[in-house]
Amino acid sequence: MVCGGFACSKNCLCALNLLYTLVSLLLIGIAAWGIGFGLISSLRVVGVVIAVGIFLFLIALVGLIGAVKHHQVLLFFYMIILLLVFIVQFSVSCACLALNQEQQGQLLEVGWNSTASARNDIQRNLNCCGFRSFNPNDTCLASCIKSGHSCSPCAPIIGEYAGEVLRFVGGIGLFFSFTEILGVWLTYRYRNQKDPRANPSAFL
């Protein structure tokens, strides 16, 4: 049987929103895990990850309630929000995949200078000091500086992983952007279908 009926559209939409719910809880859990184990001390980074998780959870909740109840208003707002998220996420994913090494270095340097707590986390975890060079007057929490040994700059070490991380983030972003456009299409089709259990003369 071709999956084009009311029940199939409803079940697909519910499954998609359950996936979004799991991803949102995973993001919140990763942020809590990073704070709990001392891997991340930057409240800005943790706050952004948790905010994205909560936003995704709320979107999934609206879509899930709208799908279960066949609520026209909730489904409409869910469709519009999902379309806007798709546009932003698709653009960011393509930008991550299109960055060359020089652009990656500039982006990393901007991020390095933007927050001291994230900079301290990187220096401590990667055992390096400074971005391209280390100023002895600056603070460095790396074990190499505490033991009196010379420390490598962080830029080459971060650069080894930056390309892979950006490709991974871009690939994951593209995957979920296509699930979002699938959600928009499912929602549009589901909104224009009649509930077979309702009054046949009423269009819901």
> How many structural domains comprise the chain?
2
Q: What is the pLDDT of residues 71-129, one digit of tens each?
A: 889 999 999 999 999 999 899 888 888 877 777 778 777 877 777 777 787 888 888 88
Reduced to 3 states (helix: H, G, I; strand: E, B; else coil), residue 144 is helix
Check residues 163 and 36 and name the one with the higher pLDDT: 163
Residue 45 covered by a domain: yes
Q: Is residue 43 domain-shared with residue 65, that is, in the same domain?
A: yes
- Predicted local distance difference test score (pLDDT) of residue 204: 43
The structure's pTM equals: 0.73
Amino acid at 10: K
Q: Which domain holds residue 148?
A: 73-194
What is the mean pLDDT of the segment spanning 43-48? 75
Residue 136 covered by a domain: yes
Q: Is residue 12 domain-shared with residue 80, that is, in the same domain?
A: no
Give the residue among 47, 41, 82, 42 at the shortest CA–CA distance from 61: 82
Exposed e or buried b for every residue in 170-184, given b needs 16+ CB within 10 A? beebbebbeebeebb
Q: Is residue 183 domain-shared with residue 85, that is, in the same domain?
A: yes
- Predicted local distance difference test score (pLDDT) of residue 202: 47
Helix residue spans in the chain (DSSP H): 6-36, 43-69, 72-98, 101-114, 116-126, 143-146, 154-191
Q: What is the pLDDT of residues 160-202, one digit of tens each?
A: 777 788 888 888 888 989 999 999 999 998 888 777 666 555 4
Residue 53 covered by a domain: yes
**Cα(177)–Cα(174) distance, integer angstroms:** 5
Q: Is residue 61 domain-shared with residue 113, that is, in the same domain?
A: no
Q: Is residue 77 domain-shared with residue 162, that is, in the same domain?
A: yes
Q: Is the pLDDT of residue 63 over 80?
A: yes
Is residue 141 within 8 A of residue 157, CB to CB? The reply is no
Q: Is residue 53 domain-shared with residue 81, that is, in the same domain?
A: no
First to last CA, the chain: 24
Mean of pLDDT over the chain:
82
Is residue 82 within 8 A of residue 13, CB to CB? The reply is no
